[in-house]
Amino acid sequence: MVIQTKLTKLVGIKHPIVQGGMQWVGTAELASAVSNAGGLGILTALTQPTPEHLRNEIRRCRAMTKKPFGVNLTILPTITPPPYGEYSDVIIQEGIKVVETAGNNPGEYIKKFRAAGIFVIHKCTTIRHALSAQRLGVDMLSIDGFECAGHPGEDDVTGLILLPLAAKALNIPFIASGGFGDGTGLAAALALGAEGINMGTRFLCTQESPIHNNIKEHMVNATERDTTLIFRTLHNSARVFRNKIAQEVVSIERKPGGAQFSDVAPLVSGQRGKLVYENGDPDHGIWSAGQIVGLIKDIPTCEVLVKRIVQEAENTIRGRLEGMIVTEAKL
């Protein structure tokens, strides 16, 4: 038995589970493993230093799986933006069928991908942004709750509220993101109107994830309280693992008069975060993690994880939930 949803039918996958696009992590090793397990693996475009590196990574992933996989393109607000147009050209030229977009002002890229026949999933943290993306013509939305790793927006609304709101407000299908990592979560997301789940942090802690094993063990030993929000005073909140650097950033932000980004920039550089994953020192830099770390207790292969999540979801739906419905005569 499998759980079939609009997500599985529209993108041609077996299970309604998507691997989120994660900087430094969304490589061919992880994306292919998720796709081979029946989910939708996602390469992260900006993990690759140039568009041509992305082209090579797409081809490398294609050699590792015959199943569908996608590419994430996140549009970041920055003084010196990457060549997004060139990255999008490579995605189209290489015949990618699914793209996950996120970030600011994605309209021109959504239009470009749709014109090329690419299925576009756009990630949002608010209903108003979801409605805007729907008007731009995306095929599906990923509704990201406050529990998520990375940027949860500034409204602080959890998935438990966002998902049923999305079900009422949207005319297109959506998946649930932020705080998902097991089968009961998948069952809950489906009950709240989603067509599947997007998991980032949980896939970070798998055998195929290309990060140092010490970081994975650190996540296994963490609790739901081991994340924190930085950049709150800068109105660009980001959920990261609660380590020494993150606590120092929060302390600087709380000083009288607040802080400028320049005050914390040396602490939060992307290269320091990359070295965390490469060298295994959890306190070397900032690294993203969602509150789901509290539910992560092992480091399975992607195949074992996906199979387990689907089985747990089926057991929850068929067993626990269905068993609660009885006729009045049996009361």
CA distance 99 to 106: 12
CA distance 179 to 275: 25
What is the structure's pLDDT at 89?
98
Domain boundaries, the chain: 6-211
pTM (2 decimals)? 0.96
Residues of the chain scoring pLDDT < 70: 330-331
Strands (E), the chain: 17-19, 41-44, 69-75, 98-103, 119-124, 140-144, 174-177, 197-199, 227-230, 238-241
Domain 6-211 has CATH 3.40.50.11900: no
What is the structure's pLDDT at 325?
87
What is the structure's pLDDT at 322?
87
CB atoms within 10 A of CB 44: 24
What is the structure's pLDDT at 328?
75
What is the structure's pLDDT at 54?
98
Q: What is the pLDDT of residues 37-59, one digit of tens each?
A: 999 999 999 999 999 999 999 99
Q: What is the pLDDT of residues 86-114, one digit of tens each?
A: 999 999 999 999 999 999 889 999 999 99
